Chain A
Protein backbone atom coordinates (compact mmCIF):
# COMPACT_ATOMS: atom_id res chain seq x y z
CA UNK A 1 0.00 0.00 0.00
CA UNK A 2 1.17 3.51 -0.80
CA UNK A 3 0.22 6.94 0.49
CA UNK A 4 -1.67 7.65 -2.74
CA UNK A 5 -4.12 4.90 -1.79
CA UNK A 6 -5.29 6.93 1.21
CA UNK A 7 -7.54 9.98 1.14
CA UNK A 8 -6.49 12.76 3.49
CA UNK A 9 -9.63 13.83 5.37
CA UNK A 10 -7.80 16.40 7.49
CA UNK A 11 -4.36 16.95 9.05
CA UNK A 12 -4.71 13.99 11.43
CA UNK A 13 -7.14 11.62 9.69
CA UNK A 14 -6.72 9.50 6.56
CA UNK A 15 -9.11 7.04 4.94
CA UNK A 16 -8.70 3.97 2.76
CA UNK A 17 -11.96 3.77 0.78
CA UNK A 18 -14.15 0.70 0.86
CA UNK A 19 -13.57 0.07 -2.84
CA UNK A 20 -9.82 -0.38 -2.29
CA UNK A 21 -10.44 -4.11 -1.85
CA UNK A 22 -13.60 -5.96 -2.85
CA UNK A 23 -13.90 -7.85 0.44
CA UNK A 24 -13.95 -4.69 2.58
CA UNK A 25 -17.37 -4.02 4.13
CA UNK A 26 -16.46 -0.53 5.39
CA UNK A 27 -13.65 1.99 4.84
CA UNK A 28 -10.56 1.97 7.07
CA UNK A 29 -9.53 5.13 8.92
CA UNK A 30 -6.11 6.01 10.30
CA UNK A 31 -5.48 8.73 12.86
CA UNK A 32 -1.98 9.97 12.15
CA UNK A 33 0.15 12.87 11.05
CA UNK A 34 1.56 12.74 7.53
CA UNK A 35 5.06 12.18 8.94
CA UNK A 36 3.95 9.24 11.09
CA UNK A 37 1.95 7.80 8.18
CA UNK A 38 5.19 7.38 6.21
CA UNK A 39 6.42 5.13 8.97
CA UNK A 40 3.12 3.26 9.41
CA UNK A 41 3.24 2.36 5.70
CA UNK A 42 6.51 0.50 6.24
CA UNK A 43 4.94 -2.45 8.10
CA UNK A 44 1.79 -4.51 7.50
CA UNK A 45 -0.45 -2.72 9.96
CA UNK A 46 -2.70 -1.11 7.33
CA UNK A 47 -3.09 -4.38 5.43
CA UNK A 48 -4.18 -5.93 8.72
CA UNK A 49 -6.61 -3.03 9.21
CA UNK A 50 -8.15 -3.76 5.80
CA UNK A 51 -8.64 -7.36 6.92
CA UNK A 52 -10.49 -6.06 9.98
CA UNK A 53 -12.75 -4.09 7.62
CA UNK A 54 -13.99 -7.45 6.25
CA UNK A 55 -15.50 -8.64 9.54
CA UNK A 56 -19.21 -9.50 9.20
CA UNK A 57 -21.34 -6.81 10.85
CA UNK A 58 -18.57 -4.17 11.20
CA UNK A 59 -20.07 -0.67 11.36
CA UNK A 60 -18.90 2.67 9.91
CA UNK A 61 -15.15 1.99 9.61
CA UNK A 62 -12.21 0.04 10.95
CA UNK A 63 -9.98 2.43 12.91
CA UNK A 64 -6.23 2.61 13.51
CA UNK A 65 -4.87 4.89 16.21
CA UNK A 66 -1.60 6.81 15.74
CA UNK A 67 0.36 4.26 17.78
CA UNK A 68 -0.67 1.52 15.34
CA UNK A 69 1.84 -1.14 14.40
CA UNK A 70 1.81 -4.60 12.89
CA UNK A 71 0.33 -7.32 15.08
CA UNK A 72 -1.32 -10.59 14.12
CA UNK A 73 -4.93 -10.54 12.90
CA UNK A 74 -5.83 -7.05 14.13
CA UNK A 75 -3.09 -4.45 14.08
CA UNK A 76 -2.08 -3.23 17.53
CA UNK A 77 -3.86 0.09 17.96
CA UNK A 78 -6.97 -1.16 16.16
CA UNK A 79 -10.65 -0.51 16.91
CA UNK A 80 -13.67 -2.21 15.35
CA UNK A 81 -17.34 -1.87 16.31
CA UNK A 82 -19.44 -4.82 15.20
CA UNK A 83 -23.22 -4.97 15.27
CA UNK A 84 -24.35 -6.77 18.42
CA UNK A 85 -27.41 -8.30 16.75
CA UNK A 86 -26.08 -9.65 13.47
CA UNK A 87 -22.32 -9.18 13.77
CA UNK A 88 -19.46 -11.28 15.09
CA UNK A 89 -17.04 -11.28 17.98
CA UNK A 90 -13.39 -12.02 17.20
CA UNK A 91 -11.02 -13.06 20.02
CA UNK A 92 -8.13 -11.91 17.82
CA UNK A 93 -9.61 -8.41 18.06
CA UNK A 94 -8.91 -8.40 21.77
CA UNK A 95 -5.64 -10.33 21.69
CA UNK A 96 -4.06 -12.91 23.93
CA UNK A 97 -3.42 -10.59 26.86
CA UNK A 98 -7.07 -9.97 27.69
CA UNK A 99 -7.51 -6.74 29.68
CA UNK A 100 -3.92 -5.79 29.45
CA UNK A 101 -4.17 -2.31 30.88
CA UNK A 102 -2.69 0.47 32.92
CA UNK A 103 -3.31 1.59 36.49
CA UNK A 104 -2.16 4.99 37.71
CA UNK A 105 -1.45 5.58 41.42
CA UNK A 106 -0.83 8.97 43.04
CA UNK A 107 1.56 9.57 45.96
CA UNK A 108 1.41 12.43 48.42
CA UNK A 109 5.20 12.72 48.63
CA UNK A 110 6.98 14.83 46.01
CA UNK A 111 9.90 14.31 43.64
CA UNK A 112 12.18 16.08 46.15
CA UNK A 113 11.18 13.49 48.78
CA UNK A 114 11.65 10.52 46.44
CA UNK A 115 14.89 11.43 44.66
CA UNK A 116 17.26 10.75 47.60
CA UNK A 117 15.81 7.25 48.16
CA UNK A 118 14.96 6.40 44.54
CA UNK A 119 17.33 3.45 44.21
CA UNK A 120 16.16 1.88 47.48
CA UNK A 121 12.53 2.50 46.55
CA UNK A 122 12.92 0.94 43.09
CA UNK A 123 14.69 -2.11 44.53
CA UNK A 124 11.97 -2.43 47.12
CA UNK A 125 9.25 -2.36 44.44
CA UNK A 126 11.21 -4.95 42.41
CA UNK A 127 11.40 -7.22 45.48
CA UNK A 128 7.70 -6.91 46.33
CA UNK A 129 6.31 -7.31 42.78
CA UNK A 130 7.07 -10.71 41.19
CA UNK A 131 8.08 -10.29 37.56
CA UNK A 132 9.64 -12.25 34.71
CA UNK A 133 8.70 -15.21 32.54
CA UNK A 134 7.15 -18.11 34.39
CA UNK A 135 7.40 -16.39 37.77
CA UNK A 136 4.57 -17.27 40.15
CA UNK A 137 2.89 -14.90 42.57
CA UNK A 138 2.11 -14.90 46.29
CA UNK A 139 -1.04 -17.04 45.99
CA UNK A 140 -1.91 -20.54 44.79
CA UNK A 141 -5.63 -20.28 44.18
CA UNK A 142 -7.80 -23.36 44.61
CA UNK A 143 -10.72 -23.73 42.23
CA UNK A 144 -13.42 -22.02 44.34
CA UNK A 145 -11.09 -19.11 45.13
CA UNK A 146 -10.13 -18.70 41.48
CA UNK A 147 -13.83 -18.80 40.54
CA UNK A 148 -14.50 -15.86 42.86
CA UNK A 149 -11.67 -13.85 41.28
CA UNK A 150 -12.98 -14.64 37.79
CA UNK A 151 -16.50 -13.62 38.76
CA UNK A 152 -15.79 -10.56 40.92
CA UNK A 153 -12.46 -9.14 39.68
CA UNK A 154 -10.78 -6.41 41.73
CA UNK A 155 -13.61 -6.54 44.27
CA UNK A 156 -12.59 -10.06 45.25
CA UNK A 157 -8.96 -8.92 45.69
CA UNK A 158 -10.24 -6.18 48.03
CA UNK A 159 -12.25 -8.76 49.99
CA UNK A 160 -9.03 -10.77 50.33
CA UNK A 161 -7.37 -7.76 51.95
CA UNK A 162 -5.57 -6.27 48.96
CA UNK A 163 -6.83 -2.69 49.10
CA UNK A 164 -10.10 -1.11 50.12
CA UNK A 165 -13.53 -0.41 48.69
CA UNK A 166 -12.52 3.15 47.75
CA UNK A 167 -10.08 1.69 45.20
CA UNK A 168 -12.91 0.15 43.19
CA UNK A 169 -14.49 3.56 42.49
CA UNK A 170 -11.46 4.50 40.39
CA UNK A 171 -11.30 1.46 38.08
CA UNK A 172 -12.98 1.07 34.68
CA UNK A 173 -16.24 -0.85 35.26
CA UNK A 174 -15.38 -0.78 38.99
CA UNK A 175 -12.90 -3.57 38.29
CA UNK A 176 -15.51 -6.16 37.32
CA UNK A 177 -17.09 -6.96 33.95
CA UNK A 178 -20.68 -8.22 34.11
CA UNK A 179 -21.44 -11.55 32.54
CA UNK A 180 -18.19 -13.21 33.56
CA UNK A 181 -18.63 -16.97 33.84
CA UNK A 182 -15.86 -18.99 35.51
CA UNK A 183 -17.45 -22.10 33.98
CA UNK A 184 -16.49 -20.79 30.52
CA UNK A 185 -12.78 -20.81 31.44
CA UNK A 186 -11.01 -24.06 30.53
CA UNK A 187 -9.01 -26.27 32.88
CA UNK A 188 -5.91 -25.44 30.84
CA UNK A 189 -6.43 -21.72 31.40
CA UNK A 190 -6.95 -22.31 35.11
CA UNK A 191 -3.71 -24.29 35.27
CA UNK A 192 -1.80 -21.42 33.69
CA UNK A 193 -3.39 -18.76 35.91
CA UNK A 194 -3.81 -20.30 39.35
CA UNK A 195 -0.40 -19.09 40.65
CA UNK A 196 0.00 -15.93 38.56
CA UNK A 197 -2.23 -13.46 40.38
CA UNK A 198 -0.09 -10.53 41.52
CA UNK A 199 2.64 -10.88 38.87
CA UNK A 200 3.53 -8.50 36.04
CA UNK A 201 5.17 -11.01 33.68
CA UNK A 202 7.65 -9.92 31.02
CA UNK A 203 7.68 -8.23 27.60
CA UNK A 204 6.50 -4.63 27.75
CA UNK A 205 4.91 -4.96 31.20
CA UNK A 206 6.27 -2.82 34.00
CA UNK A 207 5.85 -0.90 37.22
CA UNK A 208 7.15 2.63 36.83
CA UNK A 209 7.67 5.53 39.26
CA UNK A 210 7.16 8.88 37.50
CA UNK A 211 7.65 12.56 38.23
CA UNK A 212 4.80 14.84 37.08
CA UNK A 213 6.65 17.29 34.84
CA UNK A 214 3.86 19.14 33.06
CA UNK A 215 0.27 20.08 33.82
CA UNK A 216 -1.89 21.10 30.86
CA UNK A 217 -5.24 21.51 32.64
CA UNK A 218 -4.75 22.70 36.20
CA UNK A 219 -8.38 22.36 37.33
CA UNK A 220 -8.80 18.80 36.09
CA UNK A 221 -5.35 17.78 37.35
CA UNK A 222 -6.25 19.14 40.78
CA UNK A 223 -9.43 17.05 40.78
CA UNK A 224 -7.17 14.01 40.46
CA UNK A 225 -4.75 15.35 43.08
CA UNK A 226 -1.97 15.91 40.54
CA UNK A 227 0.47 18.80 40.53
CA UNK A 228 3.81 19.54 38.95
CA UNK A 229 6.66 17.98 40.92
CA UNK A 230 4.37 15.30 42.29
CA UNK A 231 4.86 11.54 42.00
CA UNK A 232 2.74 8.88 40.32
CA UNK A 233 3.21 5.14 39.78
CA UNK A 234 2.06 3.25 36.67
CA UNK A 235 1.31 -0.48 36.60
CA UNK A 236 1.10 -2.10 33.15
CA UNK A 237 0.06 -5.76 32.96
CA UNK A 238 -2.92 -7.97 32.19
CA UNK A 239 -4.47 -11.39 32.66
CA UNK A 240 -1.22 -13.35 32.35
CA UNK A 241 -1.29 -17.00 31.25
CA UNK A 242 -4.96 -17.41 32.09
CA UNK A 243 -5.99 -14.80 29.54
CA UNK A 244 -3.52 -16.10 26.96
CA UNK A 245 -5.05 -19.56 27.22
CA UNK A 246 -8.65 -18.25 27.04
CA UNK A 247 -7.75 -16.58 23.74
CA UNK A 248 -5.96 -19.69 22.43
CA UNK A 249 -8.92 -21.91 23.34
CA UNK A 250 -11.47 -19.55 21.77
CA UNK A 251 -9.59 -18.98 18.52
CA UNK A 252 -9.35 -22.76 18.09
CA UNK A 253 -13.08 -23.18 18.69
CA UNK A 254 -14.00 -20.37 16.31
CA UNK A 255 -11.61 -21.56 13.59
CA UNK A 256 -13.60 -24.78 13.48
CA UNK A 257 -16.97 -23.05 13.82
CA UNK A 258 -16.59 -20.46 11.04
CA UNK A 259 -17.51 -22.73 8.12
CA UNK A 260 -20.80 -23.55 9.88
CA UNK A 261 -21.66 -19.85 9.87
CA UNK A 262 -20.45 -19.35 6.29
CA UNK A 263 -17.67 -16.98 7.40
CA UNK A 264 -14.47 -16.80 5.35
CA UNK A 265 -11.84 -14.22 6.27
CA UNK A 266 -8.46 -13.23 4.81
CA UNK A 267 -6.54 -13.96 8.04
CA UNK A 268 -7.21 -17.03 10.21
CA UNK A 269 -6.20 -15.06 13.31
CA UNK A 270 -9.40 -13.02 12.86
CA UNK A 271 -11.40 -16.20 13.59
CA UNK A 272 -14.82 -15.19 14.83
CA UNK A 273 -18.40 -16.30 15.41
CA UNK A 274 -21.71 -14.45 15.60
CA UNK A 275 -22.07 -12.82 19.00
CA UNK A 276 -25.49 -14.46 19.23
CA UNK A 277 -24.03 -17.95 18.68
CA UNK A 278 -23.03 -20.40 21.38
CA UNK A 279 -19.36 -19.90 20.53
CA UNK A 280 -19.70 -16.11 20.59
CA UNK A 281 -21.53 -15.99 23.91
CA UNK A 282 -19.12 -18.51 25.45
CA UNK A 283 -16.13 -16.40 24.43
CA UNK A 284 -17.67 -13.19 25.81
CA UNK A 285 -18.27 -14.91 29.16
CA UNK A 286 -14.73 -16.33 29.27
CA UNK A 287 -13.17 -13.05 28.11
CA UNK A 288 -15.04 -11.16 30.85
CA UNK A 289 -13.77 -13.67 33.44
CA UNK A 290 -10.20 -13.23 32.19
CA UNK A 291 -10.65 -9.45 32.26
CA UNK A 292 -11.72 -9.73 35.89
CA UNK A 293 -8.59 -11.78 36.61
CA UNK A 294 -6.55 -8.90 35.15
CA UNK A 295 -8.35 -6.29 37.29
CA UNK A 296 -7.62 -8.45 40.37
CA UNK A 297 -4.01 -8.87 39.21
CA UNK A 298 -3.45 -5.12 39.09
CA UNK A 299 -5.14 -4.83 42.50
CA UNK A 300 -2.67 -7.30 44.07
CA UNK A 301 0.25 -5.52 42.42
CA UNK A 302 -1.06 -2.23 43.80
CA UNK A 303 -0.96 -3.79 47.28
CA UNK A 304 2.64 -4.93 46.69
CA UNK A 305 3.70 -1.46 45.51
CA UNK A 306 1.99 0.05 48.55
CA UNK A 307 4.03 -2.30 50.80
CA UNK A 308 7.24 -1.23 49.09
CA UNK A 309 6.22 2.41 49.45
CA UNK A 310 5.65 1.99 53.19
CA UNK A 311 9.26 0.82 53.63
CA UNK A 312 10.46 4.27 52.56
CA UNK A 313 7.47 6.48 53.35
CA UNK A 314 5.57 5.02 56.32
CA UNK A 315 3.18 7.98 56.46
CA UNK A 316 2.35 8.15 52.76
CA UNK A 317 -0.50 6.40 50.96
CA UNK A 318 -0.86 5.60 47.25
CA UNK A 319 -4.34 6.30 45.85
CA UNK A 320 -5.70 5.05 42.55
CA UNK A 321 -6.21 7.80 39.95
CA UNK A 322 -7.65 5.37 37.37
CA UNK A 323 -7.28 1.90 35.88
CA UNK A 324 -8.20 1.27 32.26
CA UNK A 325 -8.02 -1.69 29.87
CA UNK A 326 -6.56 -1.49 26.37
CA UNK A 327 -7.23 -5.08 25.18
CA UNK A 328 -10.90 -5.86 25.61
CA UNK A 329 -14.32 -6.07 23.92
CA UNK A 330 -17.35 -4.31 25.35
CA UNK A 331 -20.97 -4.13 24.32
CA UNK A 332 -21.77 -0.40 24.01
CA UNK A 333 -24.55 1.69 22.50
CA UNK A 334 -24.01 4.64 20.14
CA UNK A 335 -26.79 6.88 18.79
CA UNK A 336 -25.94 6.36 15.10
CA UNK A 337 -25.29 2.60 15.09
CA UNK A 338 -27.13 1.21 18.10
CA UNK A 339 -25.66 -1.63 20.14
CA UNK A 340 -22.22 -2.79 19.02
CA UNK A 341 -19.36 -4.93 20.33
CA UNK A 342 -16.39 -2.57 20.39
CA UNK A 343 -13.15 -4.50 19.94
CA UNK A 344 -10.19 -2.53 21.28
CA UNK A 345 -6.83 -4.14 20.66
CA UNK A 346 -4.13 -1.84 21.88
CA UNK A 347 -6.70 0.94 22.18
CA UNK A 348 -8.11 2.63 25.26
CA UNK A 349 -11.73 3.49 26.02
CA UNK A 350 -12.01 7.29 26.08
CA UNK A 351 -15.54 8.21 27.05
CA UNK A 352 -16.10 11.95 27.64
CA UNK A 353 -14.70 12.92 31.04
CA UNK A 354 -13.00 9.54 31.54
CA UNK A 355 -9.26 9.43 32.35
CA UNK A 356 -7.19 7.88 29.56
CA UNK A 357 -3.77 6.50 30.51
CA UNK A 358 -1.08 6.52 27.81
CA UNK A 359 2.19 4.97 28.99
CA UNK A 360 5.40 5.73 27.11
CA UNK A 361 8.60 3.73 26.98
CA UNK A 362 10.99 3.50 29.92
CA UNK A 363 12.89 6.65 28.88
CA UNK A 364 10.12 8.87 27.58
CA UNK A 365 6.99 10.63 28.80
CA UNK A 366 3.62 9.14 29.66
CA UNK A 367 0.34 11.05 29.62
CA UNK A 368 -2.93 11.39 31.47
CA UNK A 369 -5.61 12.45 28.99
CA UNK A 370 -9.34 12.99 29.37
CA UNK A 371 -11.83 11.61 26.86
CA UNK A 372 -13.74 14.17 24.75
CA UNK A 373 -17.24 14.19 23.20
CA UNK A 374 -15.80 13.67 19.72
CA UNK A 375 -14.61 10.21 20.67
CA UNK A 376 -18.26 9.12 20.82
CA UNK A 377 -19.05 10.26 17.27
CA UNK A 378 -15.73 9.50 15.60
CA UNK A 379 -13.93 6.58 17.28
CA UNK A 380 -16.50 4.52 19.21
CA UNK A 381 -15.25 6.11 22.43
CA UNK A 382 -11.67 4.99 21.81
CA UNK A 383 -8.17 6.45 21.88
CA UNK A 384 -4.55 5.32 21.49
CA UNK A 385 -2.88 3.17 24.17
CA UNK A 386 0.84 4.02 24.14
CA UNK A 387 3.72 5.02 21.92
CA UNK A 388 3.60 1.96 19.65
CA UNK A 389 6.63 -0.06 18.63
CA UNK A 390 8.59 0.87 15.52
CA UNK A 391 11.62 -1.42 15.88
CA UNK A 392 11.50 -5.22 16.05
CA UNK A 393 12.85 -6.99 19.11
CA UNK A 394 15.50 -8.68 16.97
CA UNK A 395 16.67 -5.35 15.60
CA UNK A 396 16.65 -3.77 19.06
CA UNK A 397 18.87 -6.56 20.37
CA UNK A 398 21.21 -6.18 17.39
CA UNK A 399 21.50 -2.39 17.49
CA UNK A 400 21.24 -1.36 21.14
CA UNK A 401 24.02 -2.08 23.62
CA UNK A 402 22.91 -2.75 27.18
CA UNK A 403 25.71 -0.64 28.70
CA UNK A 404 24.81 2.32 26.46
CA UNK A 405 21.14 2.02 27.36
CA UNK A 406 21.84 1.83 31.09
CA UNK A 407 24.18 4.81 30.77
CA UNK A 408 21.58 6.89 28.96
CA UNK A 409 18.89 6.03 31.48
CA UNK A 410 21.27 6.91 34.35
CA UNK A 411 22.11 10.24 32.73
CA UNK A 412 18.37 11.01 32.61
CA UNK A 413 18.11 10.19 36.32
CA UNK A 414 16.22 6.93 35.66
CA UNK A 415 16.84 3.85 37.81
CA UNK A 416 16.04 0.59 35.96
CA UNK A 417 15.49 -2.71 37.79
CA UNK A 418 15.14 -5.48 35.21
CA UNK A 419 15.14 -9.24 35.64
CA UNK A 420 16.37 -9.75 32.08
CA UNK A 421 19.01 -7.69 30.22
CA UNK A 422 17.55 -8.89 26.95
CA UNK A 423 14.10 -7.69 28.00
CA UNK A 424 15.48 -4.28 28.91
CA UNK A 425 17.15 -3.82 25.52
CA UNK A 426 14.04 -4.96 23.63
CA UNK A 427 12.03 -2.28 25.41
CA UNK A 428 14.54 0.56 24.90
CA UNK A 429 13.02 3.98 24.13
CA UNK A 430 14.31 3.99 20.55
CA UNK A 431 12.23 0.86 19.82
CA UNK A 432 9.12 3.04 20.17
CA UNK A 433 7.52 5.91 18.29
CA UNK A 434 7.60 9.48 19.59
CA UNK A 435 4.84 9.45 22.19
CA UNK A 436 4.52 13.24 22.13
CA UNK A 437 3.67 13.06 18.43
CA UNK A 438 1.17 10.22 19.04
CA UNK A 439 -0.63 12.13 21.79
CA UNK A 440 -0.62 15.33 19.72
CA UNK A 441 -2.62 13.54 17.02
CA UNK A 442 -5.42 12.36 19.34
CA UNK A 443 -5.49 15.77 21.05
CA UNK A 444 -5.72 17.65 17.74
CA UNK A 445 -8.37 15.20 16.53
CA UNK A 446 -10.46 16.08 19.59
CA UNK A 447 -10.66 12.49 20.85
CA UNK A 448 -8.98 13.28 24.17
CA UNK A 449 -7.22 16.28 25.71
CA UNK A 450 -4.01 16.49 27.68
CA UNK A 451 -4.21 16.80 31.45
CA UNK A 452 -0.71 15.92 32.69
CA UNK A 453 2.62 14.52 31.51
CA UNK A 454 4.91 12.24 33.51
CA UNK A 455 8.62 11.42 33.22
CA UNK A 456 10.01 8.08 34.42
CA UNK A 457 12.47 8.02 37.32
CA UNK A 458 12.25 4.37 38.45
CA UNK A 459 11.44 1.43 36.15
CA UNK A 460 10.82 -2.17 37.25
CA UNK A 461 10.56 -4.75 34.46
CA UNK A 462 10.47 -8.51 34.20
Chain B
Protein backbone atom coordinates (compact mmCIF):
# COMPACT_ATOMS: atom_id res chain seq x y z
CA UNK B 1 0.00 0.00 0.00
CA UNK B 2 1.03 3.60 -0.41
CA UNK B 3 0.02 6.97 0.96
CA UNK B 4 0.71 10.40 -0.53
CA UNK B 5 1.97 12.58 2.32
CA UNK B 6 2.75 16.28 2.63
CA UNK B 7 5.99 17.89 1.55
CA UNK B 8 6.42 21.67 1.34
CA UNK B 9 7.46 21.79 -2.32
CA UNK B 10 7.33 18.25 -3.64
CA UNK B 11 5.52 14.96 -3.01
CA UNK B 12 6.28 12.44 -0.27
CA UNK B 13 5.10 8.85 -0.75
CA UNK B 14 4.93 6.40 2.15
CA UNK B 15 5.01 2.79 0.93
CA UNK B 16 4.65 -0.48 2.85
CA UNK B 17 4.11 -4.06 1.69
CA UNK B 18 4.41 -7.68 2.90
CA UNK B 19 7.36 -8.41 0.59
CA UNK B 20 10.13 -6.38 -0.98
CA UNK B 21 8.82 -7.19 -4.48
CA UNK B 22 5.38 -5.91 -3.45
CA UNK B 23 7.03 -2.77 -2.06
CA UNK B 24 8.53 -2.08 -5.49
CA UNK B 25 5.14 -2.76 -7.17
CA UNK B 26 3.29 -0.43 -4.80
CA UNK B 27 5.89 2.30 -5.31
CA UNK B 28 5.21 2.14 -9.07
CA UNK B 29 1.47 2.33 -8.39
CA UNK B 30 1.98 5.28 -6.07
CA UNK B 31 3.96 7.16 -8.70
CA UNK B 32 1.23 6.35 -11.21
CA UNK B 33 -1.40 7.76 -8.84
CA UNK B 34 0.56 10.99 -8.42
CA UNK B 35 1.07 11.51 -12.15
CA UNK B 36 -2.09 10.26 -13.84
CA UNK B 37 -4.59 12.67 -15.34
CA UNK B 38 -7.91 12.12 -17.07
CA UNK B 39 -7.49 9.13 -19.41
CA UNK B 40 -6.93 10.08 -23.05
CA UNK B 41 -9.77 8.90 -25.33
CA UNK B 42 -7.34 7.00 -27.52
CA UNK B 43 -5.44 5.38 -24.63
CA UNK B 44 -4.45 1.77 -25.28
CA UNK B 45 -2.72 -0.90 -23.19
CA UNK B 46 1.08 -1.05 -23.38
CA UNK B 47 3.70 -3.44 -22.07
CA UNK B 48 7.43 -2.76 -21.61
CA UNK B 49 10.40 -4.59 -20.18
CA UNK B 50 12.87 -2.70 -17.99
CA UNK B 51 16.22 -3.91 -16.70
CA UNK B 52 18.24 -2.33 -13.89
CA UNK B 53 21.74 -3.62 -13.17
CA UNK B 54 24.36 -2.92 -10.55
CA UNK B 55 22.64 -0.49 -8.22
CA UNK B 56 24.51 0.50 -5.07
CA UNK B 57 22.15 -1.44 -2.77
CA UNK B 58 18.50 -2.44 -2.43
CA UNK B 59 17.29 1.08 -1.65
CA UNK B 60 19.22 2.41 -4.65
CA UNK B 61 17.70 -0.38 -6.74
CA UNK B 62 14.21 0.90 -5.94
CA UNK B 63 15.12 4.52 -6.75
CA UNK B 64 16.96 3.51 -9.93
CA UNK B 65 14.05 1.28 -10.99
CA UNK B 66 11.48 4.04 -10.46
CA UNK B 67 13.65 6.49 -12.40
CA UNK B 68 13.82 4.01 -15.29
CA UNK B 69 10.02 3.75 -15.23
CA UNK B 70 9.80 7.54 -15.10
CA UNK B 71 12.13 7.91 -18.07
CA UNK B 72 9.90 5.59 -20.11
CA UNK B 73 6.87 7.58 -18.98
CA UNK B 74 8.38 10.86 -20.15
CA UNK B 75 9.82 9.82 -23.49
CA UNK B 76 6.92 7.62 -24.65
CA UNK B 77 4.01 9.14 -22.70
CA UNK B 78 3.32 5.74 -21.15
CA UNK B 79 2.02 5.42 -17.56
CA UNK B 80 2.41 2.12 -15.74
CA UNK B 81 0.53 0.62 -12.81
CA UNK B 82 1.29 -3.09 -13.28
CA UNK B 83 4.63 -4.78 -12.54
CA UNK B 84 5.78 -8.39 -12.76
CA UNK B 85 9.36 -9.40 -12.09
CA UNK B 86 11.18 -11.90 -14.31
CA UNK B 87 14.25 -11.46 -12.09
CA UNK B 88 14.55 -9.79 -8.70
CA UNK B 89 17.96 -9.74 -6.98
CA UNK B 90 19.67 -7.61 -4.35
CA UNK B 91 20.98 -4.92 -6.74
CA UNK B 92 19.45 -5.83 -10.10
CA UNK B 93 16.11 -6.71 -11.61
CA UNK B 94 14.15 -7.25 -14.78
CA UNK B 95 10.51 -6.23 -14.80
CA UNK B 96 7.61 -6.21 -17.22
CA UNK B 97 5.47 -3.11 -16.87
CA UNK B 98 1.86 -2.80 -18.00
CA UNK B 99 -0.03 0.44 -18.39
CA UNK B 100 -1.57 2.83 -20.90
CA UNK B 101 -0.47 5.19 -23.66
CA UNK B 102 -0.77 7.95 -24.57
CA UNK B 103 -0.83 9.04 -20.96
CA UNK B 104 -2.47 12.22 -19.72
CA UNK B 105 -0.65 13.81 -16.80
CA UNK B 106 -2.05 15.57 -13.80
CA UNK B 107 1.35 16.16 -12.17
CA UNK B 108 4.90 16.17 -13.48
CA UNK B 109 7.40 14.09 -11.55
CA UNK B 110 10.84 15.32 -12.57
CA UNK B 111 12.72 12.66 -10.65
CA UNK B 112 12.58 10.12 -7.85
CA UNK B 113 15.10 11.23 -5.23
CA UNK B 114 17.20 9.24 -2.76
CA UNK B 115 16.19 11.66 0.00
CA UNK B 116 14.54 9.73 2.88
CA UNK B 117 14.53 6.53 0.79
CA UNK B 118 15.38 3.54 2.96
CA UNK B 119 14.03 0.07 2.19
CA UNK B 120 13.73 -1.66 5.57
CA UNK B 121 11.81 -4.57 7.08
CA UNK B 122 10.08 -4.11 10.43
CA UNK B 123 7.92 -6.85 11.94
CA UNK B 124 7.54 -8.69 8.61
CA UNK B 125 6.47 -5.58 6.73
CA UNK B 126 8.69 -3.73 4.25
CA UNK B 127 8.70 0.06 4.31
CA UNK B 128 10.19 3.05 2.59
CA UNK B 129 9.56 6.75 2.12
CA UNK B 130 10.09 8.33 -1.29
CA UNK B 131 10.31 12.01 -2.20
CA UNK B 132 9.43 12.93 -5.79
CA UNK B 133 10.76 16.17 -7.25
CA UNK B 134 7.76 18.01 -8.69
Contact = CB atoms under 8 A, between A and B. Distances in A.
A389 B64 CA distance: 28
Nearest to B67: A248
B114 A251 contact: yes
Contacts of B4: 394
A66 to B, nearest CB: 15
Contacts of A43: 8
Contacts of A245: 71
Contacts of A391: 8
B60 A248 contact: no
B107 interface: yes
Contact of A70 (B7, B56, B103, B107): B7
A269 B71 contact: no
Interface string A255-271: 11000000000011101
B124 interface: no
A76 interface: yes
Nearest to A391: B8
A420 B106 contact: yes
B20 interface: no
Nearest to A398: B6
A247 interface: yes
B110 interface: yes
B111 A244 contact: yes
State which size class the interface on B falls in. 35 or more
B11 interface: yes
Contacts of A202: 107-108
Contacts of A96: 110-111, 113, 133
B53 to A, nearest CB: 11
B32 to A, nearest CB: 14
A245 B73 CA distance: 13
Given A269-B115, A392-B9, 12 more contacts: A43-B8, A72-B131, A96-B110, A96-B111, A133-B106, A202-B107, A203-B134, A269-B113, A390-B8, A391-B8, A393-B10, A394-B5
20 contacts: A70-B7, A71-B9, A73-B113, A76-B9, A92-B115, A97-B110, A97-B133, A133-B107, A134-B103, A191-B71, A203-B110, A252-B60, A252-B64, A256-B56, A267-B115, A268-B59, A268-B115, A268-B117, A394-B4, A395-B6
Interface of A: 43, 69-73, 76, 92, 95-97, 132-134, 188, 191-192, 201-203, 241, 244-245, 247-248, 251-252, 255-256, 267-269, 271, 389-395, 420, 422
Interface of B: 4-11, 54-56, 59-60, 64, 67, 71, 74-75, 77, 103, 105-108, 110-117, 131, 133-134
